[in-house]
Amino acid sequence: MRVRKTLFMLMTADMDRAVAFYRDALGLRATSSHWSELAWGDATIALHAGGDGTYTETGLGFEVEDLDEGCAAVLAHGGQVRRAPADRPGEPIRLADVVDPEGNGFSLSQPKA
């Protein structure tokens, strides 16, 4: 067997809103005209109908250049900041926990200089 693609699936109640969030807040690009898939490099986020907006921790994380700017973009596009940016003791990163408009929780991180 040979794997062709790896998907990270998130549930959504409002597909258009979810696509717009990941496209506009995080800069992911649409990769399929048949499904709601967005990508950054080799990583693909696949949005699937059936969510109800309930908070769900996904384990998904994005490393960004500017964590404060990333949190502002999440807020500007209808998401929430669940835990504000903070240093991680013993780790060379700052981390924030955020939520998309569909209730999917994920992290944003920035390496410390």
- State the CB neighbour count (10 A cutoff) for residue 62: 17
Examine residue 1 and state whether it is found in any structural domain, yes or no: no
Please state the domain count of the chain: 1
Examine residue 57 and state whether it is found in any structural domain, yes or no: yes
Domain that holds residue 107: 7-111
Q: What is the pLDDT of residue 108?
A: 98
State pTM to two decimals: 0.92
Q: What is the pLDDT of residue 4?
A: 87
Tokens, residue 39: 């990508």
Tokens, residue 97: 């926990």
Examine residue 53 and state whether it is found in any structural domain, yes or no: yes
State how far the Cα of 27 lies from the Cα of 20, in Å rounded to an integer: 10
Alpha-helical regions (H) of the chain: 15-24, 67-76
Give the model confidence (pLDDT) of 40-97 as tens digits. 988 999 999 999 999 999 999 999 999 999 999 999 999 999 999 999 999 999 999 9
Give the model confidence (pLDDT) of 19-32 as tens digits. 999 999 999 998 87
Task: Look up the CATH number of the domain holding residue 101.
Answer: 3.10.180.10
Examine residue 2 and state whether it is found in any structural domain, yes or no: no
